[in-house]
Amino acid sequence: MTTWNCIELQDSASPLMEQLMFFHDHTMMILIIITILVSFMMMSLFFNSLTNRYLLQQQMIEIIWTILPALTLIFIALPSLRLLYLLDEINNPLMTLKTIGNQWYWSYEYSDFLNLEFDSYMIPTNELNLNNFRLLDVDNRIILPMNSQIRILVTSCDVLHSWTIPSLGIKIDAIPGRLNQTNFFINRPGMFLGQCSEICGANHSFMPIIIESITPNMFIKWIISMNI
């Protein structure tokens, strides 16, 4: 999770988030090179008293500063398109989680396992335990197995919401009357936090999301205990 004084991305918990971080570093490297090059040229012009009389209205200069930005955009666009198709690909999910946004809480349905569904509310500050996170913890957490391809279906009952888990690289809109879907793969156990990322009303800031990633055997035991 993001803590105080954290200026970097959260640690990745899925292959898709790793690819997003690689693309971020790739793009930032290109931007830094461009910034340094342009800054050097500007400083050189400021402190240079010489003038190139052939520089004005020069066709070669026009060609160079048209081709170079085009090549730069290609180096950014190709990895971006590859990543876009990776994010949209659904690879035979092992289970489906249905998420419903409400004002102001989340409802979850495990439609693959009989009739398991529950609501997830933020724990009020006056009811927190010592091991809870203020404004981020919920009474019913999402329990999911690690190393499993999971499909999530997202919709809303009232207004626009957005189901977001930064460490998994997921941000999907919950739209009334529409069912959005995406998939993700959690590659390690842990607890991953998120929040609603679409301004949805007065209590928009009080719709946290928590996913607990556990082993498949522990997940099966949890499913059995919830259905007894």
Domain boundaries, the chain: 15-46+58-88, 95-226
Q: What is the pLDDT of residue 228?
A: 65
**Is-above-0.85 flag for pTM?**
no
Q: What is the pLDDT of residue 61?
A: 79
Splitting the chain (228 residues) into consecutive groups of 10 residues, what average pLDDT does each group show? 74 88 92 93 84 72 87 92 81 88 92 83 88 86 91 92 91 91 89 90 91 91 81
Q: What one-character-per-residue DSSP string does the chain give? A: ---TT--SPPPP-SHHHHHHHHHHHHHHHHHHHHHHHHHHHHHHHHT-----TTTTT-HHHHHHHHHHHHHHHHHHHHHHHHHHHHHH-----SEEEEEEEETTEEEEEETTSTTEEEEE-BPPGGG--TTSPTTT-BSS-EEEESSSEEEEEEEESSS-EEEEEGGGTEEEEE-BT--EEEEEE--S-EEEEEEE-S--STTGGG-EEEEEEE-HHHHHHHHHHHH-
- Topology at the third CATH level for domain 95-226: Immunoglobulin-like (2.60.40)
